[in-house]
Amino acid sequence: MTKQQKETVQALQWTGDALKVLDQRRLPEHIVYDNCNDAHDVANAIISMLVRGAPAIGIAAAYGVVLSVRKHYAQSNHWRQKVVADIDMLAKSRPTAVNLFWALDQMKVTLSQQTINPLVGILACAVKIHEDDIAANHKMGELGADLLTSAKGVLTHCNTGALATGGYGTALGVIRSAYRRQALDVYAGETRPWLQGARLTAWELSQEKIPVTLIADSAAAWLMKTGAIDWVVVGADRITANGDVANKIGTYALAVLAKQHDVKFMVVAPMTTVDWGINKGNQIKIEERHQKELLPDCYLEEDSLVSAWNPVFDVTPVELITAIVTERGVVLNPAAGQGVRGLK
């Protein structure tokens, strides 16, 4: 049994000839897996939010490369060029999650080393990326739980569990590890407009037998005011070298609110999320999705006076972060030091 097969919740399943992707748009009402049979299918699954979460996107893309090699190697003498073209296509599927580009770089290096039967080496690389992510999540879970020993209540945002990773989760992995050690009140914000908190985090925690209280995003300030929250625990789609963090839209607002209410703020992410080529958060390209995700159809006409601004992520400055947790260690008060550079 592989590491990924041990997880209760699995966003991605490699079958040997296809990648099964849990359609997260249909949760929690319907648990449906779609088969991705080539790199185009994987790219479409990422673009359409069928699969989401920075680590899971990277893993899915890695298997997309495997499917590309599997398709082209036996059919063309120019299979390398066709695989490289598929890699370029996969790289364009989502712009913010740095794990995507890291995973594809790993696959390109492996591809360049393959001469005989390249599928074996390429598949081994994808499986390693997948299983290393699960191992990193478990390590982060324990390190983060060490910081929550005196906490009574935590609030999380978006979905950062097995649905967003290879398995177990980043921020949700910390909550899972902490809940096994102690009594803990867990709160999840809805996370509009895709409701990842309401649809995914609430469902995933219920699958793990962890009670959770759902709140409207706009209730977070008042919840903190009541004293119910000791820590906000979130994931990341990209971390800059100085410790600024791009994450799901609404994360920055929670960090500001946490500062106001003396609530601690934890970011949990694997080292693959760190972009060493970017020093500060203002250099991160923030993805904006179509306004139809926010607007009813009556406002989508060409002559409509109503429009929508739909950024998917925001950037939390390092000054608002209490701790950054990775599989290599924990950086406390990262603004006072060198960000995450000490973990490099």
Verify that 83 and 143 share a domain, yes or no.
no
Last residue of a domain, one of 97, 114, 135: 135
Mean pLDDT over 162-178 rounds to 96
Tell me the two tokens of residue 276: 């060493």
Beta-bridge mates of residue 274: 239
Q: Is the pLDDT of residue 303 over 60?
A: yes
Mean pLDDT over 243-258 rounds to 97
Question: Tens digits of per-residue pLDDT, 14-28?
Answer: 999 999 999 999 999
Q: Is the pLDDT of residue 331 over 70?
A: yes
Exposed / middle / buried, residue 262 (Cβ in 10 Å: 0-12, 13-18, 19+): exposed
Q: How many domains does the chain have?
A: 2
Split at pLDDT 50, 70, 90, the class of 116 is confident
pTM: 0.91
Tell me the two tokens of residue 283: 């250099």
Gap between the Cα atoms of 250 and 190, Å rounded: 10
Cβ 40 vs Cβ 60: under 8 Å: no
Q: For the domain that residue 79 is a member of, what is the CATH number?
A: 1.20.120.420
Question: Tens digits of per-residue pLDDT, 87-104?
Answer: 999 999 988 778 899 999
Amino acid at 177: S
DSSP letter, residue 200: I
Gap between the Cα atoms of 321 and 232, Å rounded: 10
Verify that 157 and 272 share a domain, yes or no.
yes
DSSP letter, residue 170: S
Beta-bridge mates of residue 36: 19
Verify that 232 and 325 share a domain, yes or no.
yes
Question: Tens digits of per-residue pLDDT, 183-204?
Answer: 999 999 999 999 999 999 999 9
Verify that 262 and 282 share a domain, yes or no.
yes
- Say how many C-beta atoms besides its own lie within 10 A of residue 329's C-beta: 14
Q: At what angle do helices 54-72 and 118-147 cross, to 10 degrees?
A: 170
Give the CA count within 13 Å in the CB-facing half-sphere of 49: 14
Verify that 231 and 243 share a domain, yes or no.
yes
Split at pLDDT 50, 70, 90, the class of 4 is low
Q: Is the pLDDT of residue 298 over 80?
A: yes
Gap between the Cα atoms of 242 and 245, Å rounded: 9
Tell me how far the alpha carbon of residue 24 is from its chain's centroid.
13
User: From the DSSP assignment, how many helices (H) and strands (E) are in the chain?
Assistant: 9, 14
Of 208, 142, 132, the residue nearest 174 (C-alpha): 142
* Enzyme catalytic residues: 237
Split at pLDDT 50, 70, 90, the class of 1 is very low
Question: DSSP letters along 243-256, please?
Answer: S-EEEETTHHHHHH
Gap between the Cα atoms of 28 and 48, Å rounded: 17
Q: Is the pLDDT of residue 3 over 70?
A: no
Q: Is the pLDDT of residue 126 over 50?
A: yes
Mean pLDDT over 320-339 rounds to 95
pLDDT of res. 180: 96
Q: For the domain that residue 335 is a member of, what is the CATH number?
A: 3.40.50.10470
pLDDT of res. 342: 85
Verify that 191 and 326 share a domain, yes or no.
yes
Verify that 63 and 191 share a domain, yes or no.
no
Q: What proportions of the chain, in percent to the nearest 5, are helix, strand and coil? A: 45, 15, 40
Cβ 215 vs Cβ 188: under 8 Å: yes
CA 256 to each of CA 220, 226, 250, 260: distance values in angstroms, whole numbers, following the listed order: 11, 16, 10, 6
Question: Tens digits of per-residue pLDDT, 261-297?
Answer: 999 999 999 999 999 999 999 999 999 999 999 999 9
Verify that 143 and 253 share a domain, yes or no.
yes
- Three-state DSSP state, 129: helix
Gap between the Cα atoms of 169 and 25, Å rounded: 19
Range of the structural domain that residue 96 is part of: 4-135
Q: Write down the mean pLDDT value for the chain.
A: 94
pLDDT of res. 74: 77
Last residue of a domain, one of 79, 114, 135: 135
Question: Tens digits of per-residue pLDDT, 38-78?
Answer: 999 999 999 998 999 889 999 999 999 999 999 998 777 78
Q: Is the pLDDT of residue 128 over 90?
A: yes
Verify that 169 and 57 share a domain, yes or no.
no
Gap between the Cα atoms of 70 and 3, Å rounded: 23
List, in order, residues 6 or more apart from 193 with CB less than 8 Å away. Answer: 293, 294, 310
Q: How far apart are the first and last CA of the chain?
A: 32
Verify that 151 and 115 share a domain, yes or no.
no
Q: Is the pLDDT of residue 240 over 80?
A: yes
Mean pLDDT over 102-117 rounds to 89
Verify that 151 and 48 share a domain, yes or no.
no
Gap between the Cα atoms of 187 and 232, Å rounded: 9
Last residue of a domain, one of 73, 102, 135: 135
Verify that 63 and 86 share a domain, yes or no.
yes
